[in-house]
Amino acid sequence: MRYHITGSSQVGVMGLKRDTLEGALKKARELRQQGIYSEVRIIDTETGDVVKEPVA
């Protein structure tokens, strides 16, 4: 899996993985919409860079 999505909440940290950038962007958006997770980030595991998401 190339993309790692992280999000923190009052309970702890969630980590998810997706194969495609599109899938990672969709999941990050869903986590933010839940209103529970803060600091949602997508990391490209091949480069180690944080993906800059397009502004909606």
The answer to pTM > 0.75 is yes
Q: Determine, yes or no, domain membership for 54.
A: no
Neighbours of 37 (CB within 10 A): 20
Q: Determine, yes or no, domain membership for 33.
A: yes
- In tens, the pLDDT along 25-49 reads 999 999 999 999 989 999 999 999 9
Q: What is the pLDDT of residue 25?
A: 96
Q: Determine, yes or no, domain membership for 56.
A: no
Please state, in angstroms and as integers, the Cα–Cα distance from residue 43 to each residue in 9, 10, 24, following that order.
18, 21, 9
Neighbours of 23 (CB within 10 A): 16
Q: Determine, yes or no, domain membership for 35.
A: yes
Split at pLDDT 50, 70, 90, the class of 1 is confident
Number of domains within the chain: 1
β-strand pairing of 13-18 with 3-8: antiparallel
Residue range of the domain that includes 13: 3-44
Q: What is the pLDDT of residue 15?
A: 96
Q: Determine, yes or no, domain membership for 52.
A: no
